[in-house]
Structure 1
Amino acid sequence: MPAASTAPPTPAAEPPSDATTRADGWATYTTADGGLSFDHPDGWTVADAPEPPPAGVSVVVGDATGRHLATLRTDLVTGAVCPAEIPYALLDAEPLPALTQGTATPRFVFEGRTDPAVPDPVTSSTLAYGITSAPEPTGPTACPIAHFFSWPPSGAAFGGVYDPHLVYPGKPPHTDTPQAYMETEEYRDLRAMITSLRPAG
C-alpha cells in the first residue's frame, strides 16, 4: 500500500478582496479603500457609481435585476441647512454603535417628510432609509431628510429612497405604503445590509 501523502493541500483560490461570499447566502463587501464593510444578499450587486467622486468611495447597491436600492458614499462634507421644518414620521430606527465617532452614535432610520405646501399627495411626501447623525426630532415637525453621518475624514452616507408609487417587475403586491413595505423581504434585507455597515478589518 503506498504511503499516505504528507504534502499540504492546495489552498483554495482567494476571493476578490472587495467581496466574500458566505455560507448563509450573503456576501461581505469591503470598500476599495479598505475603510468600511457591509453585508448584502449574494444575488445583489455592488458597483462603482456612474460618476466617481473626486475623493472617497461611491458605490451603488442593486437587486438581482439591477434596480438601484442604496448608495454608499464616503469623504462627504456633511452639514445640512434647515430652511423650514415640516411634518415628519419616524417608521423605524436602530442605533449603530459600530460607527460611533467620539460621543456621537449614528442610527439607522426609515423616515418620511410631508410638505404641506405641495397639493399633490404623490409628490408631497418623501420616504427614505439610511444612516444619520442628525439629532432625533422631538416634535411633530423636523428639518428635511439628511442621511449623513460623521466618518473620517468628514462624513459619509449609506441609504436610499423608497417610492411607494414606483412600479417595477417583481414588485410584491400591496406594498404601496411604507408600513406594508416594512413587512417585505426586500426591506428586511435592506435594513440588515445598512445596519451591518462597520469599520473593515
Structure 2
Amino acid sequence: MGRPGTALLSSGALRLALFLSSCAPPEAGADTDTAGGTQDLVSEPGSSPSATPEPANPPSATPPSDDGDGAEWATYTTPDGTLSFDHPGDWTVTASAPAPAQGEAVTVEDGIGRQLASLRTELVTGAECPAKVPYALLDSEPLPALAQPSGIPMFVFEGRTDPSVPDPVTASTLAYGITSAPLPDGPTACPIAHFFTWPPSGAAFGGIYDPYEIYPGKPMHIDTPQAYMETEEYQRIRTMLTSLRPAGRPPGQR
C-alpha cells in the first residue's frame, strides 16, 4: 500500500508526547464528534468507568488475509451489524464499559493489553477551532469504502506543535485516525480531531502515539514519527484502520 508524501515536524516536535485534542473544523454540513483522551473516544455524560469491561462480539474464526509475513488476521463486526474491520489475530477487541446510550464503542488492544485504537459510532456534536498551530501531515489515504454524499473520509497520521509552549514534551501531539475534515492547506491547522461522517451522524476510529511510553519489548530509540511509521506496530494499525468498511463488504486491497 503506497504512502503519500510526508511533511516533517519541526525539530522541537520530533520528540513527541501525546495528548489528543478535541477541536477541528468539521466537514461543512456534517454532524460530528471528536476523539479525546487515551481511553474511550467519547464519554457519555454522567457515566462512570467500569473495572471489568465485557468482551465484544468475537471476531470471525476465519482470518480474511495476512499482513505479508504469514500472520493471521481476523474480522470484527460491530454488534449492530453496520461496520467491520480487520485486526491481527493476537489483538483483542473489547466493548467499552459502561456501554454508550447510543451507538457502539469498542477498544482494540495488542497482545500485552496496550490500547491502540478505539471505535465509536453515533457521535453528534459540533467542533471549534480556538487557535491554529504548526502541523505535520505524515501519512494519509482516502477510504472510498466509507464514502458519503458529503465526501470520502481519509486515514491520516498527523501531528501538531504549539510554539507558545517551550517544552516539546508537552507542546506536541501525534495521532492516527479517520477524518472527514478537509486537510490543512496552509502552514497551520486546528488541533487534531479525528471523526468522519457516518449514518446517522458521525463516527471515530483512531488512537494516539506516545514515543515516551515504556512497555516490555518496546524497541529503543523510536522517538520520531518517521521512525515509528517503519515499525510493524504502525503498519498493522494502519492496515486495521484502513480496512474499516460497511459490514458484509469484503476487505479491499491493502
Normalising by the residue count of structure 1, what TM-score does the alignment of the two structures yield?
A: 0.89
Which range moves more in the overlay, 169-178 or 124-133?
169-178
Aligned to 2:235, which of 161, 168, 188?
A: 188
Alignment-mate amino acid for residue 41 of structure 1: P
Q: Which residue of 1 aligns with 2:133?
A: 86
- 1:57-99 deviation per Cα after TM superposition (whole angstroms, max 9, x unaligned): 0000000011000000000014310001111000000000000
- 1:13-62 deviation per Cα after TM superposition (whole angstroms, max 9, x unaligned): xxx96511316300000001000000000000000113321100000000
Cα drift, residue 154 of structure 1:
0.3
Q: Percent same amino acid among aligned pairs?
A: 70
Whole-Å separation in 1 of the counterparts to 2:128 and 2:138 = 23
Q: Is the partner of 1:19 in helix, strand or coil? A: coil
Q: Which residue of 1 aligns with 2:222?
A: 175
Whole-Å separation in 2 of the counterparts to 1:85 and 1:178 = 21
Q: Which residue of 2 aligns with 1:19?
A: 59
Q: After the TM superposition, which segments of 4 or more aligned residues of structure 1 sit over 6 Å from their partners?
A: none
Tell me whether 1:139 sits opposite 2:179 in the alignment. no
Whole-Å separation in 2 of the counterparts to 1:37 and 1:183 = 26
Tell me whether 1:162 sits opposite 2:226 in the alignment. no
Whole-Å separation in 2 of the counterparts to 1:146 and 1:197 = 18
How many matched pairs?
A: 186
Cα drift, residue 176 of structure 1:
1.2
Q: Which residue of 1 aligns with 2:172?
A: 125
Aligned 8 A contact 1:164 1:177 in 2: yes
Q: Is the partner of 1:84 in helix, strand or coil? A: coil
Aligned to 1:60, which of 100, 107, 115?
A: 107
Tell me whether 1:111 sits opposite 2:151 in the alignment. no
C-alpha RMSD of the superposition: 1.4
Aligned 8 A contact 1:56 1:75 in 2: yes
Q: Which residue of 2 aligns with 1:11?
A: none
Q: Which residue of 2 aligns with 1:73?
A: 120
Q: Select the structure with the greater relative contact order (CA < 8 A; seq sep ≥ 6).
A: 2
Which range moves more in the overlay, 16-25 or 108-117?
16-25
Aligned 8 A contact 2:57 2:78 in 1: no
Whole-Å separation in 2 of the counterparts to 1:129 and 1:65 = 20
Tell me whether 1:96 sits opposite 2:140 in the alignment. no
Q: 1:198 to 1:87 in 2, by over 3 A?
A: same
The structure that is strand-richer by fraction is 1
Whole-Å separation in 1 of the counterparts to 2:57 and 2:95 = 15
**What 5-or-longer segments of structure 1 have no aligned partner?**
1-15
Q: Is the partner of 1:172 in helix, strand or coil? A: coil
Cα drift, residue 138 of structure 1:
0.6
Aligned 8 A contact 2:228 2:234 in 1: yes
- 1:122-163 deviation per Cα after TM superposition (whole angstroms, max 9, x unaligned): 010000000000111011100110100000010000000111
